[in-house]
């Protein structure tokens, strides 16, 4: 759980940083995406690695849940949550929301499934980004998913640091501050995308990176 969580944590941070280039305009974002596609072997290795990490992460969650239930098959007569946090108690639910979100996200921005993104233009990432978030329900779902990511990521990072042996009374407050800080940065960055499109801060513009394909598709 900790090792796969670390891999997914690294991807989430890198993915958010890459998407921030949308604020530099269509040329920057499309050039970034095109740069990733120039090395298909590396790109597919990363995709397969992420698929393996997600699969093992889900399997770990399922296995740990079964172990916990087997250790205490009878429920508590009375339960008072003293040490646990809301994030830790909702990890399963936030995990399910994120799993559904990943499937939708791939259909929306990677595969360009017409029923999910009718205005998808292959190669024009900026256009797909803007038009994808112009639908209020789509943006609302992304915002919900990012809030779930915040809960999941905060507890996940904090637990991962403990699992790999970095827990120590002298440094725990710093590790907890790191978990809160990095989660806040990632969630704020990701939330800014649909909010910026809905507010009109980010608008569709002709993309110099893929003008021929974009105009032909239109």
The pLDDT tens digits of the residues spanning 76-129 come to: 666 666 656 777 778 888 999 999 999 999 999 999 999 999 999 998 999 999
Give residue 212's pLDDT band: very low, low, confident or very high (50, 70, 90).
very low
As for how many domains the chain has, the answer is 1
Residue 202's pLDDT is: 95
Residue 208 forms part of a structural domain: yes
CA angle 159, 160, 163 (to 5 degrees): 85
Residue 67 forms part of a structural domain: yes
* Separation in Å, CA 217 to CA 28, 59, 127, 135, 176: 21, 41, 11, 20, 48
CA–CA separation, 189 and 75 (whole Å):
40
pTM: predicted TM-score of the whole model, two decimal places: 0.82
Range of the domain at 103: 2-71+90-217
Number of Cβ within a 10 Å radius of residue 87: 19
Residue 215's pLDDT is: 46
Residue 130 forms part of a structural domain: yes
47 Cβ contact partners less than 8 Å away, ≥ 6 residues apart: none
Look at 17-26, 46-55, 127-136, 202-211 and tell me which has the smallest mean pLDDT: 202-211
The pLDDT tens digits of the residues spanning 141-195 come to: 999 999 999 999 998 898 888 887 777 788 888 888 999 999 999 999 999 999 9
SS3 sequence, 21-70? HHHHCHHHHHHHHHHHHCCHHHHHHHHHHHHHHHHHHHHHHHHHHHHHHH
Contact 163, 113 (CB under 8 A): no
Residue 78 forms part of a structural domain: no
Residue 75's pLDDT is: 66
Residue 191 forms part of a structural domain: yes
CA–CA separation, 67 and 53 (whole Å):
21
Residue 84 forms part of a structural domain: no
Contact 197, 134 (CB under 8 A): yes
CA angle 57, 152, 101 (to 5 degrees): 75
Would you give the DSSP letter of residue 75? Answer: P
Residue 82 forms part of a structural domain: no
What proportion of the chain, given as a percentage, has pLDDT over 70?
Answer: 89
CA–CA separation, 127 and 216 (whole Å):
13
* Separation in Å, CA 115 to CA 10, 107, 108, 119, 138: 31, 9, 9, 10, 13
CA–CA separation, 26 and 32 (whole Å):
10
Residue 85 forms part of a structural domain: no
């Amino acid at each position: 759980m900790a090792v796969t969580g670390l891999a997914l944590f690294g991807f989430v941070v890198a993915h958010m940083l890459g998407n921030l280039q949308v604020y530099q305009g269509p040329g920057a974002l499309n050039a970034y995406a095109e740069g990733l596609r120039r090395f298909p072997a590396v790109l597919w290795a990363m995709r397969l690695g992420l698929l393996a990490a997600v699969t093992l992460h889900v399997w770990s969650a399922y296995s740990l849940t079964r172990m916990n239930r087997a250790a205490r098959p009878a429920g508590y007569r009375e339960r008072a949550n003293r040490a646990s946090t809301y994030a830790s108690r909702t990890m399963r639910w936030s995990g399910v929301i994120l799993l559904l979100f990943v499937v939708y996200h791939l259909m929306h921005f990677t595969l360009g499934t017409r029923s999910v993104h009718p205005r998808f233009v292959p190669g024009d990432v900026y256009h797909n980004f803007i038009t994808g978030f112009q639908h209020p329900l789509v943006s609302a779902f992304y915002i919900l998913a990012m809030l779930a990511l915040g809960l999941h990521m905060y507890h996940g990072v904090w637990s991962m640091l403990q699992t790999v042996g970095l827990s120590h009374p002298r440094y725990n407050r710093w590790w907890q501050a790191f978990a809160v800080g990095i989660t806040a940065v990632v969630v704020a960055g990701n939330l800014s995308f649909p909010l910026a499109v809905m507010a009109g801060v980010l608008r569709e513009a002709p993309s110099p990176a893929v003008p021929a394909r974009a105009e032909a598709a239109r």
